Amino acid sequence: MKKIDRYILYKYFTSFIFCIFLFTAIVVVIDMSEHTEDFAKSGLSASRIFSDFYLGLIPRIDAMLFPLFVFISVIFFTAKMAGNSEIVAILSSGVSFRRFLFPYFIGGLVLSLTLWFGYKYVVPNANRKWAEFVKKYIDVNVAPNPLNSTYKQNVYFRIDSNTYAGIKGYDTVSKSGTNLSVQRVVNNKVVYNLRAMNFRWDTASKKWSLNNVLERKLNAIDEQVSFYHNKEMRYSFKPIDLRKDEYLKDQMTTPELDNFIELERMRGSEMLNTLEVERYNRDAIPVSVLILTLIGGILASRRVRGGSGFHLALGIVISVSYVLFSRFSIVFATKGNFTPWLAAWIPNILFGILVVYLYKKAPK
């Protein structure tokens, strides 16, 4: 790595760090002003609020705006280099334009891998911490919303290829429910049936504890009927599988999300497209960091009348366009029949083509 590479990477990373710290501080101040009353009612210390709430909120917000932070920082420092005629001097010394973009590629790749790892483990854990705090200390001060109720009714799903379950009512907070029914079907015939009046999750044994259980095993000639006051059963579904709330997918690490998608695919869940879009986005969004880095480097490397203001305005337009493409494709995938992986990757495909076009048209 040559001195010019280190120089550009230094400007890249310092501009990015400054940008992300500045925007994060603004978000925290605004959020703090909105939740001051909730924090006061909670009775928690400032250190506890910061560790339990803001250490969950900050990674959540930063990951959401990460590509925008990268793009703005690239536009900012590259336009400044162009305004100081540094890029003209670099290219006039015999450095090719492709070689000039090499440190941009390396910097974009490093930040892409950082965001990819963050989406895989860090952000889901932060979302879980943030959601637990909100549920415990903020949502209690808001009127209940029936769409986000913790009590689920009439839940039906598939346990495995032959076994089906139905639940009359389930409380996601206490992890207990009423009227559980399980039946196994082989060759279009019911061969097993279980009904329990009440059930709950036993955190010690990691099993479901059933009360007042009626179990029937059927064959071609007769059936075997058994009754149990208490019975522990190990099923493939766990309390997290019964939550079905809108933000559940955001709180799962990528390996957990992969396993959950397989279970939901087996059960024929209606929310499968939403889960798959989330999974593909965790790979596609980090790649957008590299793409936007190259777009920003190519656009801002040309000196124009008006200085960096024009580049920043153009950068905002491109960023908004990327977000719009991403939102539209996600809506079509979750609400329609659009393929989930294509919905996640089509913005990268279109803007990848834009990178090639801008590179060919850029003055060398």
pLDDT score, position 230? 93
Instruction: Read off the tokens for 81.
Output: 């280099």
* Spans in the chain with pLDDT lower than 70: 139-149, 244-247, 304-312, 315, 336, 364
User: How far apart, in Å, are the Cα atoms of 78 and each of 106, 258, 307, 317?
Assistant: 15, 39, 11, 17
- Do residues 307 and 83 touch, judged by C-beta distance below 8 A? yes
Q: Provide the pLDDT for residue 244.
A: 63
| HSE-CB of 272 using CA atoms within 13 angstroms | 14
pLDDT of residue 362: 80
CA atoms lying within 13 Å on the CB side of residue 192: 9
SS3 state of residue 287? helix
At 246-270, the pLDDT tens digits run 667 888 899 999 988 888 887 777 7
Question: What pLDDT score was predicted for residue 249?
Answer: 83
- Rounded Cα gap, residues 96 and 99, in angstroms: 5
Cα angle for residues 340, 346, 347 (degrees, 5° grid): 125
Please tell me the predicted confidence (pLDDT) of residue 25.
Answer: 92
Helix (H) or strand (E) holding 213: strand 207-218
Predicted local distance difference test score (pLDDT) of residue 26: 92
Structure-derived torsion over alpha carbons of residues 35, 135, 58, 349, reported in degrees to the nearest 10: -120
Beta-strand runs (E) in 86-175: 151-158, 163-171
Is 0.75 topped by the overall pTM? Answer: yes
- Chain segment 35-76, per-residue pLDDT in tens: 888 888 888 888 989 988 999 999 999 998 899 899 989 988
